Amino acid sequence: MFFVPEIIEKKRNGGRLSGEEIHYLIDGYVRGEIPDYQISAFLMAVYFRGMDEAETTELTMAMARSGEMVDLSAIEGVKVDKHSSGGIADTTTLVLLPLAASAGVKIAKMSGRGLGHTGGTIDKLESIPGFSTELSKDEFIKIVNEVGAAITGQSKDLVPADKKLYALRDVTATVDSIPLIAASIMSKKIAGGADRIVLDVKFGGGAFMKRYEDALELARIMVNIGKLAGRRTVAYVTDMDQPLGLAVGNAMEIIEAAEALKGRGHEDLLNLCLELGCEMMVLAGLEKDKQKAREKLLENIKSGKALEKFKEIVRRQGGNPDALEDYSLLPRARFSREVEAWEDGFIEMIDALRLGLTAMKLGAGRQKKDDRIDHSVGIWLCGKVGDRVEKGKPLAIVHANDEGKLSWAVEEVKGSFRIAREKVEKRKLIRARVTAENIEEF
């Protein structure tokens, strides 16, 4: 039997906790036997003293085993999951799932809803008329076996420890702790049952991690947790100092995903999806050479196979696949207005966080968990950093259902851009690839 104050004191003084001590804390907290105030003290001790990789892995596994451990053994082949740490105009999952599935990768994706300025994949997909993200386990597995990919909302029984701990971290100023972030992300991935994991860890103004060095360290720790937990994991560190794609908003991101699968998406979004898709193919054992994998994915876009896979996923989950061709079938806002450039020049900076918050306040995201999403509103960008602009031509288009909010949002979006007269270099998107054996920086 352990004594909770002694465990807290040990970590407070910089000691290393055993696996048994960590499991005792997490199990007791989930069962309601250890109160919030003691776990708050533990979280603060971790925040200041940190955890080594063995401790972080034990915390991850204790959290993963606090609820349902999903069994995907009924799905044929190697199951590969992908996780993004969240950002603005991050439409990656909507493009990557059908793209990788079109090449034979099996993806059983459990995803969440958005909260705050980062959008949720489930909310985006629910823009498609009829699309259901509430699948039974048997239905979920059947679709993955027959189609190659399916996406469902996270089970309420999946990692209950994370839900309780995150709520507590949010009110105790202990959210931005790398061990706690790593355990939160990886516990859900491990409990989700995938054999292999690809991570997209973002940094910059529109991401949770602001500094590249912190994102790289988080990526390294999560990859090593995956290894220690027996799940081969690869992480990419990517730039989120500007939006990834051009669409910020739920229905608009469905449109951008469809356009990307038609070969007409923004090069940043498409290149990231190709890179992650190649990695998923290699991890699944479908291809050894990443260049050949890339060629196959590009061919699937060119032939229309990738788009057809997206339509098949939509159809099997109750949605109307015609919405991926006829965008008028998707929710549309009542009002729209262009944000015009005030001078000639080059886009020097886009404040991704300010854009994300603006879209959220228009109704595209939630400020509270029970807020209703307006799938039709958002912001469409007309360029990114390094692109040339002309005075009077649009920098972005704002879509809203309230004229007062529209006028306010136009000013917010305008204030999110900075224009330079001299030519500006385009930002490098992919900054590092991290495996258990190597860190490759670009």
Nearest to 29 by CA among 7, 12, 13, 14: 7
CA dist., res. 239 & res. 81, Å (int)? 21
Tell me whether residue 117 is one of the annotated catalytic residues.
Answer: no
CA dist., res. 201 & res. 429, Å (int)? 12
Catalytic residue among 79, 83, 109, 220: 83
Tell me whether residue 83 is one of the annotated catalytic residues.
Answer: yes
DSSP-based three-state secondary structure for 35: coil
Residues 6+ apart with CB under 8 A from 137: 70
Catalytic residue among 184, 187, 376, 416: 184
User: Do the Cβ atoms of 87 and 269 come closer than 8 Å?
Assistant: no
| Distance between first and last Cα of the chain | 50
Please classify residue 390 by burial: count the beta carbons closer than 10 Å to its beta carbon, then call 0-12 exposed, 13-18 middle and 19+ buried. exposed
Bridge partners of residue 79, in order along the sequence: 106
Catalytic residue among 11, 79, 164, 188: 188
Contacts 24+ apart (CB under 8 A), 291-294: 293/103
Cα dihedral across residues 388, 391, 395, 397: positive or negative: negative
CA dist., res. 291 & res. 282, Å (int)? 11
Catalytic residue among 162, 241, 268, 374: 162
Catalytic residue among 65, 169, 384, 405: 169
Bridge partners of residue 396, in order along the sequence: 339, 381
Tell me whether residue 184 is one of the annotated catalytic residues.
Answer: yes
DSSP output for 223-265: HHHHHHTT-EEEEEEEE-SS-SSSEESHHHHHHHHHHHHTT-S
CA dist., res. 322 & res. 416, Å (int)? 35
22 to 52, 61, 161, 206, 350: CA distances (angstroms) = 13, 10, 12, 33, 42
User: Do the Cβ atoms of 120 and 114 come closer than 8 Å?
Assistant: yes
Tell me whether residue 162 is one of the annotated catalytic residues.
Answer: yes
User: Do the Cβ atoms of 47 and 165 come closer than 8 Å?
Assistant: no
Tell me whether residue 157 is one of the annotated catalytic residues.
Answer: no
Report the catalytic residues.
83, 162, 169, 184, 188
